Amino acid sequence: MISSLEDLKKLAQKKNCSDGACKEELRVCIGSSCLALGSDQLQKDLKSEIKNKDLKDKCKVKGVGCNGLCANGTLVSHYNTVLKEETLYEKVTNDDINDLVKSVKNNKKLKSKMCDMTQPFFTKQFKIVLENAGYIDPNDIEDYIAHKGYEPFFNALENMTPTEVLEEVKISGLRGRGGGGFPTGLKWETVSKVQREQKYIICNGDEGDPGAFMDRAVMEADPHRIIEGMALAGYACGASQGYIYVRAEYPIAIEKLQKAIKQAKKLGILGDNIANSNFGFNIDIRLGGGAFVCGEATALVTSIEGNRGNPRQKPPHLSDYGLWSEPTILNNVETFANIAPIIRNGGDWYKGIGTQNSSGTKVFALTGHIQNSGLVEVPMGIKLDELIYEIGGGIPDGKKLKAIQTGGPSGGCIPKHLLDLEVDYDSLKKVGSIMGSGGLIVIDESSNMVEIARFFMDFCKSESCGKCTPCRVGTSQLTNLLDKFINREASNEDFELLKELCEVVQTTSLCGLGQTAPNPILSTIQYFEEEYLAGIKKDGEDS
């Protein structure tokens, strides 16, 4: 049991000394993308071969989370703990095991599999949320502690008041990373002021946007970071119970979180009277059935309560009337993953990263027609051009860029002539898109933008809960109209009706799903109107 910050530091020192006995580590990615390529078996076979070659005392094999370059999996990092040198190997298979073990034995690098870590994909990132991904074993709480994990939490319990913790979050300027971008400190402050015996902290790990996998990767790679962030939120706001709402389609993330919570409880990091204080905090997991609408705050809360995940009208807001009618804070995975570094380094440190109104970093899932598909973390304010062509490696197969889609079904399509745009909340909103949770889909010249809009509209139609007529009927009618343009059966009247119906759905829908569903259509009309006009049937033209 850990009862003080001093105990925590002693355990970290003990773990570091124990790990230091092995001068080298082979870190095998066991994130979902690499597991799909068989990295679990690769890890087992590597361990076996290291043992057979009598190298156990020299080299340790461990599983780690995704380091981001998903396109080149399976990834294996060879780390020298003495020299602090890392060599990353890409596209490693079981056929490479013998050569890899020989390279360890002979103190040589396996050049045929080496990944260039001087490329912009690595050098232009700034990792806060993902700082442990690819380095620590997500199944080992002591590995997290050895990397200064839980120190901010225990330091807060012993040396900071709840108000001081809250103040650092406010100073940081952290905005909610789930899509809305609401100031996190303001949300927490509102709940902290409510005088109620029971309050709740909820982490939204539902992540339903097509092409998005940021939260999944964080939950799989660094589950204790989320737990620590939630515990700090509980301390700052006077809440004693937390829930992590995870979509059931994320079995690996669920497994990692369950194990992490069990380990934290065993060491006394979760439970009653943590670190001999008057503060107690517990976390439970609730599984979502895969309904996209349950990513909306009120629908998510309703789902945790055991009811159908339908949104409700606001106000009242969750800060007054949340889970089981009690004050509730709801943030997403990435938001909570930022909290421990903010408390460790101070709000001013975090505020100094990014832009004036969008501080810190943002994690993006780069997908679509992009060379380096995977996960990246960059400072707010980075330009799209740098993100796509330098970090992302550009468009494959000699194709040209056409657009970038951000914000998932709620976002918009940004044309290539706006590549000089800075990526932050305000800049994206000005051009008709949103930050969203961090999905970024690159679209090349071979794509039809009306078909892109229809894909997202069909998704929204399928995921509508059906509670309000504008969303239930409007998304269906918008999909039908888009079909007419794709089939070159539309009329000029249909074009005007399409724009009018988008406005109706936006302004009259109950929740964020319906209110933002027309965004992909409106942005593609704004920047690619000619593709809609090409779908209008000319006089005398056959159907």
C-alpha to C-alpha distance for 46 and 62, rounded to whole angstroms: 10
pTM, two decimal places: 0.94
C-alpha to C-alpha distance for 407 and 476, rounded to whole angstroms: 21
pLDDT, residue 542, reads 60
Q: Could you give the angle at which helices 519-527 and 449-463 cross, rounded to 10 degrees?
A: 170
Q: Map 95-107 to HEC letters.
A: HHHHHHHHHHHCC
pLDDT, residue 22, reads 80
Sequential pLDDT tens for the chain (543 residues):
899 999 999 999 998 888 777 889 999 999 999 999 999 999 999 999 999 999 988 999 999 999 899 989 899 999 988 888 999 999 999 999 999 999 999 989 999 999 999 999 999 999 999 999 999 999 999 999 999 999 999 999 999 999 999 999 999 999 999 878 899 999 999 999 999 999 999 999 998 888 889 999 999 999 999 999 999 999 999 999 999 999 999 999 999 999 999 999 999 999 999 999 999 999 999 999 888 899 889 999 999 999 998 899 888 999 999 999 999 999 999 999 999 999 999 999 999 999 999 999 999 999 999 999 999 999 999 999 999 999 999 999 999 999 999 988 888 999 999 999 999 999 999 999 988 888 899 999 999 999 999 999 999 999 999 899 999 999 999 999 999 999 999 999 999 999 999 999 999 999 988 999 999 999 999 999 999 999 998 865 665
pLDDT, residue 537, reads 85
Q: Would you call 79 helix, strand, or coil by DSSP?
A: strand
CB proximity list for 246: less than 8 A, separation 6 or greater: 205, 206, 219, 253, 254, 257, 285, 286, 287, 288
pLDDT, residue 212, reads 86
Phi, psi of 435 (to 5 degrees): -70, -45
pLDDT, residue 540, reads 57
Q: Return the residue matching tokens 């309904």.
A: 291
Q: How many CA atoms lie within 13 A of 474 on its CB side?
A: 28
The mean predicted confidence, pLDDT, of the chain is 94
pLDDT, residue 263, reads 98
Q: Which helix (H) or strand (E) holds 368?
A: strand 361-368
Alpha-carbon distance values, 204 to 87, 227, 246, 290 (Å) = 35, 12, 7, 13
Contact 245, 156 (CB under 8 A): no
C-alpha to C-alpha distance for 32 and 462, rounded to whole angstroms: 26
CB proximity list for 117: less than 8 A, separation 6 or greater: 86, 88, 123
313-370 per-position pLDDT tens digit: 888 999 999 999 999 999 999 999 999 999 999 999 999 999 999 999 999 999 999 9
Contact 410, 460 (CB under 8 A): no
